[in-house]
């Protein structure tokens, strides 16, 4: 299981877990004591919530609405299929790794099946629903503005995905319809909590797998030897918040990218390519060669592919960019405050 990582999504069973009773047998089920308080606090901390339940979908969703809880749950999977499959489908819909998922259910057999199919998922007996708020994996070090808005942002992401599914045309044509705007600015002290959170939460789109503490990040703000930038993004569906980070070391003859990372929520939006295009221009304007560190992990191969597609060559473990500066793709507006 994914010990050591903060849980990003907690998937709830319903019958005798979120509420007391079995909905099919008695529609007058009652919410378990303080369950709504638990949901509200997890939501405030930026931990996403979903449902995997064996129930009639319409009845269960109606009951959640009656209880005032429907809005808490993203991509709920309610039906008669395997809960293990449901957890995997939720992870796919939210574009999150299963090692950041947790599942709570009153039935040992259901928990065991989830772990058998996805051993990286953490599971909890329903009796622990009040205690999980005190478990370290549910206690992020900081609760940032992005944390508090995370559910809304993911709901907007689902709307984007649904729009893309129904779009007839190329991926680039769809991206042009989004009216995406990306802003690059120097990291300020007020950004550090979110920046640390990005390094802790991001694994698929982290070029070196590096994780930095708040204190280490603070030192880069005032360093004349580093370019330390944060990327904010929005589109016609809403704001993504702070979704990217660049840390580059300035040398006399080169600019070396020490860390490039992006939130998984922008994986299919071409943001990595856009940031690298901007960096090629930044380096060229100062007469610097552009280099990059890349440390392979079990999750970040997509970042290596992004570098290679952008024309970086791997020479003795260091990536080198040899070409002319590249233009930022026309499907995205990039504004630099640097």
- β-pair type (254-262, 238-250): antiparallel
Q: Return the SS3 of 107.
A: coil
Q: Return the SS3 of 304.
A: helix
165, burial (CB in 10 Å: exposed 0-12, middle 13-18, buried 19+): exposed
Run of H or E residues at 9: strand 9-12
Q: How far apart are CA 61 and CA 76, in angstroms?
A: 9
| Domain 9-138: homologous superfamily in CATH | HAD superfamily/HAD-like (3.40.50.1000)
Checking if the pLDDT of 198 tops 90, the result is no
Which part of the chain has CATH 3.40.50.1000? Answer: 9-138
When pLDDT is averaged across residues 85-103 and rounded to a whole number, the result is: 94
In the prediction, which pLDDT does 266 show?
A: 87
| Domain 145-336: homologous superfamily in CATH | Gcn5-related N-acetyltransferase (GNAT) (3.40.630.30)
Of the pLDDT bands very low, low, confident and very high (cuts 50, 70, 90), residue 203 is low
Dump pLDDT digits (tens) for 329-338. 999 999 999 8
In the prediction, which pLDDT does 1 show?
A: 47
pTM: 0.76
Which part of the chain has CATH 3.40.630.30? Answer: 145-336
* Residue 312, number of CB atoms within 10 A of its CB: 23
Q: How far apart are CA 37 and CA 333, in angstroms?
A: 41
Dump pLDDT digits (tens) for 35-88. 999 999 999 999 999 999 999 999 999 999 999 999 999 999 999 999 999 999
145 or 71, greater pLDDT: 71
């Amino acid at each position: 299981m994914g010990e050591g990582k903060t849980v990003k999504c907690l998937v709830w069973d319903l019958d005798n877990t979120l509420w007391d009773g079995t909905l099919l047998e008695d529609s007058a089920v009652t919410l378990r004591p303080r369950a709504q308080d638990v949901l509200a606090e997890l939501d405030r901390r930026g931990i996403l919530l979903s449902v995997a339940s064996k129930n009639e979908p319409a009845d269960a969703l109606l009951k959640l609405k009656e209880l005032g809880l429907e809005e808490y749950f993203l991509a709920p999977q309610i039906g008669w299929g395997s809960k293990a499959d449901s957890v995997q489908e939720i992870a796919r819909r939210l574009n999150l790794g299963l090692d950041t998922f947790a599942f709570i259910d009153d039935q040992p057999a259901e928990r065991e099946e989830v772990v058998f199919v996805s051993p990286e998922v953490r599971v909890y007996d329903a009796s622990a629903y009040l205690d999980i708020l005190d478990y370290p994996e549910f206690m992020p070090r900081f609760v940032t503005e992005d944390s508090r808005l995370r559910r809304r942002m993911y709901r907007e992401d689902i709307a984007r995905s649904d729009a893309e599914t129904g779009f007839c045309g190329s991926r680039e044509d769809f991206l042009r319809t989004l009216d995406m705007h990306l802003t690059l600015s120097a990291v300020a002290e007020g950004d550090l909590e979110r920046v640390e959170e990005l390094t802790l939460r991001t694994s698929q789109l982290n070029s070196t797998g590096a994780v930095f503490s708040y204190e280490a990040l603070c030192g880069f703000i005032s360093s004349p030897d580093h370019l330390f930038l944060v990327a904010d993004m929005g589109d016609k569906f809403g704001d993504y918040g702070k979704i990217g980070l660049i840390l580059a070391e300035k040398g006399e003859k080169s600019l070396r990218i020490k860390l490039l990372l992006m939130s998984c929520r922008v994986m299919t939006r071409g943001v990595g390519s856009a940031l690298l295009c901007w960096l090629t221009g930044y380096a060229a304007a100062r007469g610097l060669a552009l280099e990059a560190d890349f440390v392979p992990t079990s999750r970040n191969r997509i970042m290596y592919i992004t570098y290679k597609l952008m024309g970086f060559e791997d020479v003795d473990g260091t990536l080198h960019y040899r070409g002319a500066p590249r233009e930022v793709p026309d499907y995205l507006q990039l504004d630099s405050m640097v």
